[in-house]
Amino acid sequence: MARSKHSSAYSDAVKWTKLGRPRRLNRGSFAGRCWQNSFVAGVVVLGVIGFLSPSTYGQTRGFSSRGQIGALGLGWPGLALAGMVLLGVIYAFVRRAGIRWTVARVIDPWRRPQDENPNYEGAVGALGASSDANRTRYLWRFVYKPLALAVLATFFAFSSAYFLVDATLAQFQVGWQQPVLGVANSIVSVVLWRVAAVGLSTYRLATSVHKTVSTGSL
Protein backbone atom coordinates (compact mmCIF):
# COMPACT_ATOMS: atom_id res chain seq x y z
CA MET A 1 0.00 0.00 0.00
CA ALA A 2 2.78 2.38 0.97
CA ARG A 3 4.66 1.44 -2.18
CA SER A 4 1.62 2.25 -4.31
CA LYS A 5 1.26 5.59 -2.54
CA HIS A 6 4.91 6.47 -3.19
CA SER A 7 4.60 5.47 -6.84
CA SER A 8 1.52 7.62 -7.24
CA ALA A 9 3.31 10.56 -5.62
CA TYR A 10 6.27 10.10 -7.97
CA SER A 11 3.94 10.03 -10.98
CA ASP A 12 2.38 13.28 -9.77
CA ALA A 13 5.82 14.86 -9.41
CA VAL A 14 6.63 13.85 -12.97
CA LYS A 15 3.34 15.32 -14.22
CA TRP A 16 3.92 18.62 -12.41
CA THR A 17 7.43 18.83 -13.82
CA LYS A 18 6.30 18.10 -17.38
CA LEU A 19 3.73 20.86 -17.06
CA GLY A 20 6.71 23.21 -16.75
CA ARG A 21 7.70 22.53 -20.36
CA PRO A 22 7.13 25.39 -22.80
CA ARG A 23 4.09 24.94 -25.02
CA ARG A 24 6.15 25.49 -28.12
CA LEU A 25 9.70 24.21 -28.19
CA ASN A 26 11.51 24.30 -31.51
CA ARG A 27 14.06 21.60 -30.81
CA GLY A 28 15.77 22.02 -34.17
CA SER A 29 16.37 25.73 -33.67
CA PHE A 30 17.47 25.12 -30.07
CA ALA A 31 19.94 22.43 -31.15
CA GLY A 32 21.35 24.64 -33.90
CA ARG A 33 21.96 27.57 -31.54
CA CYS A 34 23.52 25.37 -28.86
CA TRP A 35 25.80 23.64 -31.34
CA GLN A 36 26.87 26.97 -32.78
CA ASN A 37 27.66 28.41 -29.37
CA SER A 38 29.54 25.33 -28.17
CA PHE A 39 31.47 25.04 -31.45
CA VAL A 40 32.58 28.67 -31.30
CA ALA A 41 33.57 28.21 -27.65
CA GLY A 42 35.64 25.21 -28.73
CA VAL A 43 37.37 27.19 -31.48
CA VAL A 44 38.29 29.95 -29.02
CA VAL A 45 39.53 27.66 -26.23
CA LEU A 46 41.36 25.15 -28.44
CA GLY A 47 42.52 27.91 -30.77
CA VAL A 48 44.21 29.77 -27.94
CA ILE A 49 45.92 26.53 -26.88
CA GLY A 50 47.07 25.88 -30.44
CA PHE A 51 48.25 29.46 -30.88
CA LEU A 52 50.33 29.45 -27.70
CA SER A 53 51.54 25.86 -28.03
CA PRO A 54 51.45 24.48 -31.59
CA SER A 55 53.30 21.38 -30.38
CA THR A 56 50.02 20.34 -28.73
CA TYR A 57 48.78 19.67 -32.25
CA GLY A 58 52.00 18.04 -33.41
CA GLN A 59 53.51 21.22 -34.89
CA THR A 60 57.14 21.38 -33.78
CA ARG A 61 58.03 24.62 -35.55
CA GLY A 62 57.26 26.72 -32.52
CA PHE A 63 59.97 29.33 -33.19
CA SER A 64 60.49 31.25 -36.40
CA SER A 65 63.77 32.66 -37.68
CA ARG A 66 62.73 35.96 -36.13
CA GLY A 67 62.31 34.42 -32.71
CA GLN A 68 58.52 34.52 -32.80
CA ILE A 69 56.97 32.17 -30.29
CA GLY A 70 53.95 29.95 -30.78
CA ALA A 71 51.82 29.74 -33.91
CA LEU A 72 53.28 32.99 -35.26
CA GLY A 73 56.36 30.96 -36.07
CA LEU A 74 54.29 28.91 -38.51
CA GLY A 75 53.56 31.83 -40.83
CA TRP A 76 50.09 32.29 -42.31
CA PRO A 77 48.49 29.34 -40.45
CA GLY A 78 49.23 31.12 -37.17
CA LEU A 79 47.67 34.33 -38.46
CA ALA A 80 44.64 32.41 -39.74
CA LEU A 81 44.21 30.76 -36.36
CA ALA A 82 44.53 34.12 -34.60
CA GLY A 83 41.82 35.48 -36.89
CA MET A 84 39.51 32.56 -36.07
CA VAL A 85 40.01 33.08 -32.35
CA LEU A 86 39.39 36.81 -32.73
CA LEU A 87 36.14 36.17 -34.63
CA GLY A 88 35.06 33.80 -31.86
CA VAL A 89 35.77 36.42 -29.20
CA ILE A 90 33.80 39.02 -31.18
CA TYR A 91 30.91 36.53 -31.51
CA ALA A 92 30.93 35.99 -27.73
CA PHE A 93 31.02 39.74 -27.12
CA VAL A 94 28.08 40.38 -29.41
CA ARG A 95 26.11 37.60 -27.68
CA ARG A 96 27.32 38.38 -24.16
CA ALA A 97 23.78 39.07 -22.91
CA GLY A 98 22.64 35.63 -24.03
CA ILE A 99 25.72 34.01 -22.48
CA ARG A 100 25.06 35.72 -19.13
CA TRP A 101 21.40 34.65 -19.34
CA THR A 102 22.39 31.01 -19.96
CA VAL A 103 24.91 30.93 -17.12
CA ALA A 104 22.37 32.53 -14.78
CA ARG A 105 19.75 29.90 -15.66
CA VAL A 106 22.17 27.06 -14.96
CA ILE A 107 23.21 28.46 -11.57
CA ASP A 108 19.92 30.01 -10.42
CA PRO A 109 18.06 26.87 -9.23
CA TRP A 110 21.00 25.95 -7.00
CA ARG A 111 20.88 29.34 -5.30
CA ARG A 112 17.17 29.92 -4.72
CA PRO A 113 13.79 28.15 -5.02
CA GLN A 114 11.99 28.61 -8.33
CA ASP A 115 8.75 29.34 -6.49
CA GLU A 116 7.59 31.78 -9.15
CA ASN A 117 6.95 28.77 -11.40
CA PRO A 118 3.24 27.80 -11.07
CA ASN A 119 4.18 24.10 -11.07
CA TYR A 120 6.77 24.38 -8.30
CA GLU A 121 4.57 23.87 -5.24
CA GLY A 122 2.74 20.91 -6.77
CA ALA A 123 5.99 19.20 -7.79
CA VAL A 124 7.57 19.82 -4.38
CA GLY A 125 4.56 18.38 -2.55
CA ALA A 126 4.42 15.30 -4.77
CA LEU A 127 8.14 14.60 -4.69
CA GLY A 128 8.21 15.17 -0.94
CA ALA A 129 5.66 12.36 -0.57
CA SER A 130 7.75 10.01 -2.72
CA SER A 131 10.22 7.41 -1.47
CA ASP A 132 13.95 8.07 -1.38
CA ALA A 133 14.44 5.72 -4.32
CA ASN A 134 11.93 7.65 -6.41
CA ARG A 135 13.56 10.95 -5.45
CA THR A 136 16.87 9.61 -6.73
CA ARG A 137 15.12 8.40 -9.88
CA TYR A 138 13.66 11.88 -10.34
CA LEU A 139 17.10 13.47 -9.88
CA TRP A 140 18.69 11.29 -12.53
CA ARG A 141 15.82 11.66 -14.96
CA PHE A 142 15.20 15.41 -14.81
CA VAL A 143 18.52 16.86 -13.63
CA TYR A 144 21.52 14.64 -14.33
CA LYS A 145 20.34 13.16 -17.63
CA PRO A 146 19.82 16.48 -19.49
CA LEU A 147 23.07 17.82 -18.03
CA ALA A 148 24.94 14.71 -19.17
CA LEU A 149 23.50 15.06 -22.67
CA ALA A 150 24.53 18.73 -22.75
CA VAL A 151 28.08 17.83 -21.67
CA LEU A 152 28.30 15.13 -24.36
CA ALA A 153 26.94 17.49 -27.01
CA THR A 154 29.52 20.10 -26.02
CA PHE A 155 32.29 17.49 -26.12
CA PHE A 156 31.46 16.55 -29.72
CA ALA A 157 31.25 20.22 -30.73
CA PHE A 158 34.69 20.80 -29.16
CA SER A 159 35.94 17.75 -31.03
CA SER A 160 34.86 19.32 -34.33
CA ALA A 161 36.58 22.54 -33.32
CA TYR A 162 39.74 20.55 -32.56
CA PHE A 163 39.83 19.14 -36.09
CA LEU A 164 39.42 22.64 -37.53
CA VAL A 165 42.23 24.09 -35.40
CA ASP A 166 44.48 21.14 -36.18
CA ALA A 167 43.83 21.41 -39.93
CA THR A 168 44.55 25.14 -39.84
CA LEU A 169 47.91 24.66 -38.13
CA ALA A 170 48.74 21.90 -40.62
CA GLN A 171 48.01 24.29 -43.52
CA PHE A 172 44.99 22.12 -44.35
CA GLN A 173 47.28 19.33 -45.52
CA VAL A 174 45.24 16.60 -43.87
CA GLY A 175 43.60 13.40 -45.01
CA TRP A 176 39.96 13.13 -46.00
CA GLN A 177 39.19 11.40 -42.71
CA GLN A 178 39.70 14.57 -40.68
CA PRO A 179 36.97 16.73 -42.27
CA VAL A 180 34.64 13.73 -42.33
CA LEU A 181 35.19 13.18 -38.60
CA GLY A 182 34.72 16.90 -37.96
CA VAL A 183 31.38 16.96 -39.76
CA ALA A 184 30.28 13.68 -38.15
CA ASN A 185 31.05 15.01 -34.66
CA SER A 186 29.07 18.16 -35.40
CA ILE A 187 26.09 16.09 -36.52
CA VAL A 188 26.29 14.00 -33.34
CA SER A 189 26.47 17.21 -31.29
CA VAL A 190 23.37 18.64 -32.96
CA VAL A 191 21.46 15.39 -32.44
CA LEU A 192 22.41 15.30 -28.75
CA TRP A 193 21.37 18.93 -28.25
CA ARG A 194 18.06 18.14 -29.92
CA VAL A 195 17.51 15.13 -27.65
CA ALA A 196 18.44 17.19 -24.58
CA ALA A 197 16.15 20.10 -25.46
CA VAL A 198 13.04 18.82 -23.66
CA GLY A 199 14.92 17.83 -20.52
CA LEU A 200 16.81 21.12 -20.38
CA SER A 201 13.53 23.03 -20.66
CA THR A 202 12.52 21.73 -17.20
CA TYR A 203 16.02 21.60 -15.72
CA ARG A 204 15.59 24.69 -13.56
CA LEU A 205 12.25 23.58 -12.13
CA ALA A 206 13.38 20.00 -11.49
CA THR A 207 16.67 21.04 -9.90
CA SER A 208 14.93 23.48 -7.59
CA VAL A 209 12.21 20.98 -6.66
CA HIS A 210 14.68 18.24 -5.80
CA LYS A 211 16.93 20.62 -3.88
CA THR A 212 14.01 21.89 -1.83
CA VAL A 213 12.81 18.37 -1.00
CA SER A 214 16.30 16.98 -0.27
CA THR A 215 17.20 19.85 2.07
CA GLY A 216 13.87 19.58 3.88
CA SER A 217 12.88 23.23 3.33
CA LEU A 218 9.29 22.50 2.39
Per-residue pLDDT of the chain (218 residues), as tens digits, is 445 555 788 999 999 999 988 888 899 999 999 999 999 999 999 999 888 877 777 765 544 444 455 555 567 777 888 899 999 999 999 998 888 888 888 888 888 888 899 999 999 999 988 888 999 999 999 999 999 999 999 999 999 999 999 888 888 888 888 899 999 999 999 999 999 999 999 999 999 999 999 886 54
Give, for 39, the enclosing helix (H) or strand (E): helix 27-52
* Cα–Cα dist 127/144, whole Å: 16
Is 33 domain-assigned? yes
* Beta carbons within 8 Å of 204's beta carbon, 6+ residues apart: 105, 108, 109, 114, 117
Q: Report the pLDDT value the prediction gives residue 72, as an integer from 0 to 100.
A: 59
Burial 6-37 (b: 16+ CB within 10 A, else e): beebbebbbebbbebeeeeeeeeebbeebbbb
Is 97 domain-assigned? yes
Is 56 domain-assigned? yes
Structural domain including 93 reads 25-215
Determine contact, residues 17/202, Cβ cutoff 8 Å. Answer: yes
Is 135 domain-assigned? yes
Is 118 domain-assigned? yes
Is 15 domain-assigned? no
Total number of domains in the chain = 1
Is 14 domain-assigned? no
User: What are the Cα distances from residue 133, in Å, to 3, 6, 124, 188, 197?
Assistant: 11, 10, 16, 32, 26
Is 72 domain-assigned? yes
